[in-house]
Amino acid sequence: MTKRLDNIIGEQDYNGLLASTTPSAIVATAEIAAGEADIPAGTVIVKGEDGKYKPASEALTAESIVLVLSEDAPAAGGIATGYKTGNFARGRLVAAEGYTLTATDFDYMRQAGILSEDVID
């Protein structure tokens, strides 16, 4: 059986996460640790000592390996995609419940290639 290659497979709604096309958004996969609730797109996730990513729940450091989730991740964990670099709308980036990203966190993310800027919706 053959299929046409010009058919629409699916659609993606714009979520306002990316603020600019420069620098280029580079996507990577990440193994997400199981948690209590689904993790929304735009969450800053940090690689733990076990090699799995969790939402940032404390101040970032120069050694933090950080991604921004590009899609919602289920609470059960598994593999999700995240941005290694890119320019993001600051108001759309979030961390773990109970923690608010600070100016220092944004500085460490900038050093890793994750830029952010204020965007008017």
Task: Say if residue 14's pLDDT is above 80.
Answer: no
Task: Say if residue 28's pLDDT is above 80.
Answer: yes
Q: Which of 8-12, 77-81, 109-113 has the lowest mean pLDDT?
A: 8-12
Buried b (16+ CB within 10 A) or exposed e, 70-105: beebeeebeebebbbbbbbbeebbbbbeeeebeeeb
Give all domains of the chain, ordered by start, each with its CATH number: 18-117 (2.40.300.10)
Quick: pLDDT tens for 80-120: 999 999 999 999 999 999 999 999 999 999 999 999 999 98
Global confidence as pTM? 0.87
